[in-house]
Amino acid sequence: MKILVAEDEPGLLQIYKVLFESHGYEVMTTKDGQECVEAYEAELNKTTENTTPFDMVVLDYRMPIKNGVEAAKEILVLCPDQKLLMVTAYSGVLDSKGEKLKKMKVMSKPFDFDKFLATITDELKNA
């Protein structure tokens, strides 16, 4: 299983990588929304038709260059079936601005990492 993570905080990005890899996931990390979309497009070009390049894309909401919602919208244009998880300390902002996408699950920071991993696992089981 492959997971793409976009997070601008280096310490948290490393925690995600170690957490996912320790549970058998292949992980690609990016530091902002733009880098995430570019990595997504590069992997998409390597896949066959009708498949998503990642089993899950985990996006932080507030990132430099391109935020998580902007990146998510671009990814969904490229691959409408892609599973997305937004992690944010600003979930109320997403709702109030109408930025929450129907296909996107949202988890509020701070969160328990066991619950975070369980959410990812559950989402992937429902694929």
What are 86's strand-pairing partners? 59, 106
Residue 93: what pLDDT? Answer: 53
Q: What is the secondary structure of 54-114 as a DSSP string?
A: -SEEEEESS-SSS-HHHHHHHHHHH-TT--EEEEES-HHHHHHTT---TTEEEEESS--HH
- pLDDT tier at 35, thresholds 50, 70, 90: very high
- pLDDT tier at 14, thresholds 50, 70, 90: very high
Cβ 87 vs Cβ 61: under 8 Å:
yes
Residue 91: what pLDDT? Answer: 63
Integer-rounded Cα radius of gyration of the chain: 13
pLDDT digits (tens, 9 = 90+) for 92-111: 655 545 444 666 777 777 77
Query: Could you give the domains of the chain?
Result: 2-125 (3.40.50.2300)
Mean residue pLDDT across the chain = 86
